[in-house]
Amino acid sequence: MKRFIVCCLSLLAATTLMLGQNAPKKFEIKSGRFTLVSEVMGQKVESMNYFDDYGNLQASVTSAFGMELTTISRDGKTYMVNAAAKQVQEMPVQESVNYLDLTDEVIAKYKIKEIGHETVAGKECVKYTMEVSQMGQTAHLTVSVWQGIPMKTVTSVSGTDVAATITEIVEEPVDAALFTVPSFE
């Protein structure tokens, strides 16, 4: 059960960070931080997220179930860091949606539909539905986006819903060290 929840959190972190990885500018805001609250199988998990260079650098720190997982996205790669185990797993960033550049091709590929508006953390968002296929599974998402940033995402995969909502977002400079991938050698 714990392994399943960790896998769901990893998928959620990767999906949240992946959304918007293919364009020079992913967000309208240069740098900042936000608090993301996720609910997986009735368990609430909070993560601190940081971004710089309009979303080209992203880091997420999640503490749950007695462990801390850091996810860093930079230079076309995603790094899952488990500092306690002194492990870094490197993965290529998969093709994904940049909400600042919704072309007809992207809209068709992900079956994106604008379904209205929603206020999340005091920000007026555009609300979309879409489908993302990864690792042989199709996830159905409802995403509320403000300035390119997914403020709320509800992901349904194989009958399991995972909700992630930004509860606070602050535009401010962030420490560049947050985006440095550690070396445990």
Query: How many folded domains does the chain comprise?
Result: 1
Q: Report pLDDT for 94.
A: 67
CATH of the domain at 165: 2.50.20.10
CA-to-CA distance for 132 and 130, rounded, in angstroms? 7
Could you tell me the residue range of the domain that residue 126 belongs to?
A: 2-179
Q: Report pLDDT for 8.
A: 45
Residue 184 located in a structural domain: no
Q: Would you give per-residue pLDDT tens digits along the chain (185 residues)?
A: 444 444 444 444 444 444 444 447 899 999 999 999 998 777 888 999 999 999 999 999 998 777 889 999 998 899 999 988 899 999 987 666 899 999 999 999 999 999 999 999 999 999 999 998 878 889 999 999 999 999 999 999 888 888 999 999 999 999 999 999 998 87
Residue 80 located in a structural domain: yes
Q: Report pLDDT for 6.
A: 43
Cα–Cα distance list, 109 to 103, 104, 106, 133, 162 (Å): 10, 9, 5, 10, 22
Residue 185 located in a structural domain: no
User: pTM of the predicted model, to two decimals?
Assistant: 0.81
CA-to-CA distance for 40 and 87, rounded, in angstroms? 24
Cα–Cα distance list, 142 to 4, 9, 110, 112, 115 (Å): 22, 17, 12, 10, 9
